[in-house]
Amino acid sequence: MTERNKPLALISVANKRGVADFAARLTAAGYEVLSTGGTLNAIREAGVAATPVSEYTGSPEVFGGRVKTLHPKIHGGILMRRGDVGDAAEAEANGIRPIDIVAVNLYAFRETVARPDVTLAEAIEKIDIGGPTMVRSAAKNSSTVTIVVDPEDYSAVADEVDAGGVGDATRRRLSLKAFRHTAAYDAAIASWLGTNGGDNPTLPEEVHRPLIRVQSLRYGENPHQAAALYRDDGVPELNGAVVLQGKALSYNNLVDLDGAQAAVLEFDEPAAVVVKHTNPCGVGRDSSSLLQAYRAAHAGDPVSAFGGIVALNRPVGADVAAALAETFLEVVTAPGFDDEARQILSAKTNLRLIDTSAAKLDVIRARPTLFGTLIQDDDPRISDIAEDWTVATERAPTSDEATALRFLWRVCKHVKSNAIVVGSSSRTYGVGAGQMSRVDAARLAVTKATGDLAGAALASDAFFPFRDGVDVAAEAGIRAVIQPGGSKRDSEVIAAANEHGIAMVFTGHRHFRH
């Protein structure tokens, strides 16, 4: 039987880490502990006294444990207003005692649905009902009730109990933490059921996406802007990528890394991408050698490569590490670095090395604006979508030109619009990024070229609105062009290409990147 003069604490947790010690400290401080199921067993097995909730309420657990805490003696004890004469009288009449401490965390729904073979029935059984109800009840009444959802808080709460009682500031802090806990839990359920219940998984009717702060950053894009990095709930920090060395990543590093990693994953063969201010400034590939791919990428714009970010799609060995060490770089990312590479690059103490071998890279793209949040699915790899082209000109590209066009088309997709990329089949020569007019992007790409443009190829992320861009390309010696087509003046653009003997293909798809 319960002891009416003792304060009550209710403990019912899915994560049982530290729970027996917490119960022991509360009982030593004079509390009677109420508990259920596996938590009750864990507490008692540790030699700590605890009262079953069913004994306290006089109602058995029913429906296989689905209902055990949904009872007026539980929720009344949590929600009753201390000091309210009417509530006190009702509590006395119904045998309800105040419950001052509630320690509850929830069924492992996210861990369960993370299994690839999980069934809908298994997922449904991991939707907690009584737990969130108790958490929200205690958090609502935090003026007098302490809610603990995180085992990390057990010790601090027990210390305050020992010192005379949990303080107002702690109760308010834990209340906020509790509401965030249940909000994230409900969001995870809504997200999974939406994805597995017929909704468009990318663009659902409502978006529930709890974000958890990973770290505060020194500043944002500029020193006067505050910034922090967040991760989706249930997703590992940095999406599974691991920082192996170097100082903390900055806001701008992370934005550049996003662009670099997306670009290098376009390629199946060994490839390297050098990014500066979110744009690829050099991209190279080689049929078998990562070293040659990196050398080609660096040669694309060696000036801009200084202080840049490099993404590689193969593990790094000593030869590539030595080449990387020749240039000041902010970040290098690759699916692994061998011991010799780590040793060589460790001399660059500020260089961040990031291992992406375990990274999860499926994303949706969300962008807050003054008018609301825009969401779109990611632009898939070009090799994963139908990107067959049609020859628009009198001359078709040669085999070598076609290879170059397909390479540059993949690169151009990752350059900010308006985008023009010139180069060969193995590397970029010049990149014209983010220009307000396409002819200026063409002029910029040609001006920055680090290779002989005689016989080179060009890619444009969207159609040419006028023939002037083709004229710039022809004057530089370019002999093949790939673009989406679709302009009202396509006939003029095609005529210009024919005049210059340029082979031009239309893809029918554009790849704007704003």
DSSP E strands in 286-358: the ranges are 308-312, 329-334, 352-355
pLDDT, tens digit (0-9, with 9 covering 90-100), for 185-228: 888 888 777 766 555 555 667 677 777 888 899 999 899 999 99
The answer, yes or no, to whether residue 2 has pLDDT greater than 90, is: no
Q: What is the separation of C-alpha 327 from the centre of its chain, rounded to a whole number of angstroms?
A: 30
Q: What is the mean pLDDT of residues 471-488?
A: 95
What mean pLDDT, rounded, does the chain reach?
Answer: 88
pLDDT, tens digit (0-9, with 9 covering 90-100), for 89-145: 887 788 888 999 999 988 888 788 878 888 888 888 888 888 888 899 999 999 999
Q: Which of 6, 140, 177, 208 is catalytic?
A: 140
Told to judge if 208 belongs to the known catalytic residues of this protein, a careful annotator would answer no
Confidence of residue 478 (pLDDT cuts 50, 70, 90): very high
Told to judge if 177 belongs to the known catalytic residues of this protein, a careful annotator would answer no
Residues 6+ apart with CB under 8 A from 123: 109, 112, 113, 192, 193, 196
pLDDT for res 199: 53
- 241-355 carries CATH number 3.40.140.20: yes
Q: Hey, what are 356's tokens?
A: 């992406």
CB 486 within 8 A of CB 463: yes
Same fold, 241-355 and 389-506: yes
Degrees to nearest 5, angle at CA 383 with 380 and 384 = 50
CB 213 within 8 A of CB 180: no
Higher-scoring residue by pLDDT: 292, 373: 292
Residue 425: burial class (beta carbons within 10 Å; 0-12, 13-18, 19+): middle
Domain positions in the chain: 8-195, 241-355, 389-506
Whole-number percent of the chain with pLDDT over 90: 62
Rounded CA-CA distance 284/467 in Å is 29
Span between the terminal Cα atoms of the chain, in Å: 68
pLDDT, tens digit (0-9, with 9 covering 90-100), for 251-305: 999 999 989 999 999 999 999 999 999 999 999 999 999 999 999 999 999 999 9
CATH architecture of 8-195: 3-Layer(aba) Sandwich (3.40)
Q: What is the mean pLDDT of residues 313-319?
A: 96
The answer, yes or no, to whether residue 59 has pLDDT greater than 80, is: no
CATH topology for 389-506 is: Cytidine Deaminase; domain 2 (3.40.140)
pLDDT for res 420: 96
Q: Which of 6, 16, 208, 277 is catalytic?
A: 277
The answer, yes or no, to whether residue 1 has pLDDT greater than 50, is: no
Confidence of residue 32 (pLDDT cuts 50, 70, 90): very high
Confidence of residue 68 (pLDDT cuts 50, 70, 90): low
One-letter identity of residue 92: E
